[in-house]
Structure 1
């Protein structure tokens, strides 16, 4: 079966010319008020050509292309819903009267009779007026921060395709296009039911021409040829593999590809000079690209809590990211640390890192100092959306679950086992929200596995896990918690809403009212939403 390719709607003059060309002038049109179009979908190209030729010989006007003067669409083995979806993809009924959607039985009966037979109910695929009444037309707010998006996704086949396009744009350093596809996917994620036809999307925000074209292709053919082709692209697969190395961004990966490096083994053999982060990323590549479970995140949390409490009693540790939004897996673990007494957090990070290193928990770490300026009015507004807290990017050495349950099976050195500490109440981690040199990707998909040559890991009693630690003063904690909870698009939309709708500047440090020229204080996420004039959305519904 050959799927119907997307056809351009043409004028009636073009359609008539096509019909005349194919009839060869041998049989004049006997029924000018009846203009037929045979749907190739499921009928097949050869059978469609045969039936079209037969109709023309009997004096019927059979169009080669769908046009605005078509009066009867004939299909075979298609449901009314499928034909209606296809018709929507062509722009709907363009003529003065509704198009008849008919089964091929009407066509064969008309051929036998030598004239158009009466259209009976048994010939009809659907009644348009009933179908239109049953269409669920969706409506959602323009900004993702106004919408509630849980982990339930009724349109995964559509959002997955748009996410591939977004990822490809981001890997190609085209962030603007990437954001456009992410916004389109976020709209579909927020819909309460599956999309079955293009008419349901009329009036929805953020759905550009490119996104709609991909959606139409999937609804009509079950998959997007553009997306499937992109997923098979050697460059796309190589970019995913290379940026999956901790410490490697898109520019570095692109340079390597231009130098002929597409795989990990080629990188190892190339003699490229790697920094410390990239060396750790390459050494622990497989483990760092395996999902981190909630149980593993909690185990890391116990270690972090032991470290923090040992050097600063009373400090607070919160697990952020996707786990706080209810996700069960993530690609790293993020913690936000503060102390209820302003200023007590100063110097905390270096002490925590020293404790973790002395206990053998860190395979790699890089700490950056805070670069914001605190004043009595608030922190100086950063020139970009990147927050400027003191943070530590690290790779943890985490004992595997069975070893955590039975620490005696290893040496009692903390370097080999993660002994459980005091229980920490956490709300739930996922991707880092900050952008920068490091870009992580889940790359163990079938079409990419051949690009990832790794040595057998054996039966190590531990695995490497990406962990980010962030220290915030208590005065900025609510903003930091909001910023580091995500999702990334939700945060981007919050900032866009603040700037475009409220004349405010929002960051992970503060909220600044440009109209009043002052900072708006907040001690909770609820207060920040209130300042912005938004209904509070809990973390579990920020999965845009």
Structure 2
């Protein structure tokens, strides 16, 4: 991390005003509603940006992100006007034009003089950053970074029909064991999700990475005909529909679903009628099939957080329970609930999970649970530590929770539909992490899958590092890099920080 500056260098002003022009503003009240600042993190660094943001807000200025349409003044340190325009666009700004149209692009000197004056000073030519004037082409507008971890991907995007089509053929490829083809289609969909414009023609894709000929063909069909014949054939095929339904059963993977299909089984009723061999997880998953395939509301997820926090508090006061996954990325519904548990004192979390699970089970909250012990040993087995596997090795419990839709009372009598008892079965994953590994776990468990996959690919191929949910390891320097926050991990990798809400690749 860059060292925090102890003070801001103040340049000599032509018309200085006394510091007492405005009083201190500890409450953060906005005194200048017509002025909205955006501080460019590039070259400034996260720590200095945070310091300057806090200073500006104390002085009564409003500070917002690059993607805010309210920004009127963009402040940069050590960048050219062209670099600021590029940074703003990469960070979601739609108000900055190719020639710098939109908000004023200013050197830090305007900011320091305004802070000293206690109010926005007049913008003079010496404050302004020059921007090269050139005609903006479609290719300029459509530049997209190669890795998902370099792109901001919101929940709502402008190419829903195209991404749904690509994700369908990606899923079908995975059902047939073709992981490479599946990933290719999935990455193409991921690129389109980050695209800030609606694709109107395949010509719009000329400069986009990760979109192969097969994906282009599907996209062209959807654009021209409203649907792709190939995609519709997949959706209507008996194999795809069967595999999709079987995969919805808790504890069933692609191999098991494929084996059942080969045995001639086609429906959930077939599994029951032919007494298919099910393990304990699959039996519970089949019993509560309807509940487990109905959306989990954010309010339900937060109710589960409260129940688990209550259990954790009994055994380890001061420990935190954090909601991760799609809910942390801004989703209002999800398929399951992922919770991270940690304590600020390293080592205090050991043995906590078994106590929490036992208490939840005794109170009637658990319909099923499978617990796995922590097997991560960085000091004893370096190969284990730097493994590129996507599975982590924390203390974790994969469970099916019983939640009341009206209260948090324990106990459950549902038979798979919720019904009159107003109870609902919900998938819940509990993960306990040491505090030193919490930032890595939080990043890994937040997702999305495409974002995390590309983040690890970027680490390996661009930075010669290995990233997993436990640590970051530099393979050339042969050192582990610590991080107290997600922001520090991004800094280690030389990436602009992307907030959870923008990781929906």
Q: Same fold (TM over 0.5)?
A: yes
| CA shift for structure 1 position 133 | 7.5
Matches within 5 A, 1:28-39: none
Question: 1:470 matched to which residue of 2?
Answer: 431
Cα deviation 1:182-210 (Å, max 9, x = unaligned):
11011111111100011111021000111
Question: 2:199 matched to which residue of 1?
Answer: 195
What secondary structure is seen at the aligned counterpart in 2 of 1:459?
helix
Question: 2:491 matched to which residue of 1?
Answer: 530
| CA shift for structure 1 position 375 | 2.7
Question: 1:381 matched to which residue of 2?
Answer: 386
Matches within 5 A, 1:177-196: 177-196=181-200
Cα deviation 1:301-355 (Å, max 9, x = unaligned):
1101001111111111110001101011000000000111111111011000001
Task: Work out which of the two has the higher radius of gyration on C-alpha atoms and give 1 or 2.
Answer: 1
Contact kept? 2:291, 2:426, Cα under 8 Å:
yes
> CA separation of 1:415/1:518 partners in 2, compared to 1, >3 Å: closer, same or farther?
same
Question: 2:343 matched to which residue of 1?
Answer: 339
Question: 2:465 matched to which residue of 1?
Answer: 504
* Residue among 297, 301, 309 paired with 1:297: 301
Question: 1:267 matched to which residue of 2?
Answer: 271
Number of aligned residue pairs: 368
Question: 2:404 matched to which residue of 1?
Answer: 399
* Residue among 230, 233, 239 paired with 1:229: 233
> CA separation of 1:365/1:180 partners in 2, compared to 1, >3 Å: closer, same or farther?
same
What secondary structure is seen at the aligned counterpart in 1 of 2:425?
strand
Contact kept? 2:139, 2:207, Cα under 8 Å:
no
Question: 2:453 matched to which residue of 1?
Answer: 492
Cα deviation 1:391-433 (Å, max 9, x = unaligned):
0000000001xx22xx7xxxxx62259xxxxxxxxxxxxxxxx
Question: 2:479 matched to which residue of 1?
Answer: 518
Q: Structure 1: where are the runs of 5+ without partners?
A: 1-131, 408-412, 418-453
Q: Cα RMSD over matched residues?
A: 2.0
Question: 2:411 matched to which residue of 1?
Answer: 415
Contact kept? 1:377, 1:519, Cα under 8 Å:
no
> CA separation of 1:261/1:374 partners in 2, compared to 1, >3 Å: closer, same or farther?
same
Question: 2:170 matched to which residue of 1?
Answer: 166
Matches within 5 A, 1:37-436: 138-375=142-379, 380-382=385-387, 384-400=389-405, 403-404=406-407, 414-415=410-411
Q: Structure 2: where are the runs of 5+ without partners?
A: 1-135
Contact kept? 1:137, 1:200, Cα under 8 Å:
no
User: TM-score under structure 2 normalisation?
Assistant: 0.70
d(CA) in 2 for partners of 1:172, 1:374: 36
User: TM-score under structure 1 normalisation?
Assistant: 0.65
d(CA) in 2 for partners of 1:515, 1:197: 44
> CA separation of 1:231/1:512 partners in 2, compared to 1, >3 Å: closer, same or farther?
same
| CA shift for structure 1 position 458 | 3.5
> CA separation of 1:532/1:473 partners in 2, compared to 1, >3 Å: closer, same or farther?
same
Greater relative CO, 1 or 2 (CA 8 Å, sep 6+) = 1
Cα deviation 1:166-190 (Å, max 9, x = unaligned):
1111222222211111110111111
